[in-house]
């Protein structure tokens, strides 16, 4: 049985100036890169949370997302990260989802078809509802990239029931 080779992925975090981010619950995240020194991206994942309301109105963030979207193989969002993708225009003409409490906000973008599903793939963009739906989306992406056995292995390691 083939296993996911974690060394084939090199995840990193990005913040506009490369400064620490304090999450809503007080956890500090230290990004490896700023918008200016970010290396090329194969996969862009936009997280959700309260801060997305400000980010979806921030010109520099939206330009960064748009500028990097073309070269990415996949663009992912968890929860309200879909609002940032919509504000950047990346969801125009596409289907998408977000957390149930933000569906009304996503519907404010008339070019987006909003689906109430755990995750939605439309082309190279995959959006997910809340946090646990983001896990389902991640397992889907692992299956797409590395095959079903890799996704099954990751789910088993997490003791997570595959949807």
C-alpha count within 13 angstroms, C-beta hemisphere, residue 10: 7
Which position among 45, 56, 79, 125 bears the catalytic label?
79
Strand pairing category for 43-46 and 125-128: unpaired
Retrieve residue 59's tokens: 């010109």
- The span from the CA of 82 to the CA of 127, in Å, is 6
79 is catalytic: yes
For helices 148-158 and 131-146, give the axis angle rounded to 10 degrees: 140
Task: List residues with catalytic annotation.
Answer: 79
């Amino acid at each position: 049985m083939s296993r996911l080779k974690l060394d084939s992925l090199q995840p990193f975090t990005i913040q506009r100036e490369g400064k620490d981010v304090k999450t809503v619950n007080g956890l500090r995240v230290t990004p490896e890169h700023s918008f200016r020194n970010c290396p090329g991206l194969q996969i862009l994942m936009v997280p959700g949370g309260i801060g997305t309301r400000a980010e979806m109105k921030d010109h520099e963030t939206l330009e960064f997302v748009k500028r990097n979207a073309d070269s990415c193989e996949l663009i992912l969002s968890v929860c309200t990260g879909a609002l940032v993708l919509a504000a950047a225009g990346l969801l125009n003409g596409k289907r998408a989802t977000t957390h149930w409490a933000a569906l009304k906000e996503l519907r404010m973008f008339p070019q987006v078809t909003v689906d109430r599903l755990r995750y939605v793939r439309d082309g190279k963009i995959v959006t997910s509802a809340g946090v646990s739906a983001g896990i389902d989306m991640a397992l889907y992406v692992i299956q797409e990239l590395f095959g079903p056995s890799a996704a099954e292995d990751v789910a088993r390691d997490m003791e997570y029931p595959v949807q």
